A = this chain, B = another copy of it.
Amino acid sequence: MSDEADSLRALTTDIRDFAREREWEQFHDPKSLILALTGEVGELAELFQWVPADDAVAQFRDPARKQRAGEEISDVLIYLLRLADVLGIDVAAAARAKLADSRRRFAAHEVSGVAPTKE
């Protein structure tokens, strides 16, 4: 794959062009995009809901199921990048900053093998 194809910024631009060419920008306010994102996360969840947890990776090695999972993950990604774009957020920079922050908050030697609990 070319560097271009792997770039978050290039993908964001392509999604923006896709919306613009169809005059769909009018529908892309943040709340509507989050609902669309929720819809795609729901479709992703449905693919895995009844699969045994410890067999999910194995079952999704099947090419047809892997293809379907890839499509749903892509749909989530596309709406997520569209949302960031509409809000003027540089998602690559934001994700880098978030990961750096998580590295500080969860020191490897302190949390090793322990899942952080949400209360």
Contact = CB atoms under 8 A, between A and B. Distances in A.
Main secondary structure of the interface of A (DSSP, over half): helix
Contacts of A1: 90, 92-93
Contacts of A117: 50
A12 to B, nearest CB: 10
Nearest to A40: B42
Contacts of A6: 7-9, 92
A92 to B, nearest CB: 5
24 contacts: A5-B96, A6-B9, A7-B8, A8-B11, A22-B113, A27-B50, A29-B57, A31-B32, A31-B53, A32-B50, A35-B49, A36-B49, A38-B41, A38-B42, A39-B42, A39-B118, A41-B41, A47-B118, A50-B116, A61-B88, A70-B89, A71-B94, A76-B80, A77-B91
Given A34-B48, A38-B38, A42-B42, 18 more contacts: A5-B96, A11-B92, A14-B99, A18-B99, A18-B103, A22-B113, A23-B112, A23-B113, A29-B56, A30-B48, A30-B57, A35-B45, A38-B42, A41-B42, A50-B117, A57-B86, A70-B89, A78-B99
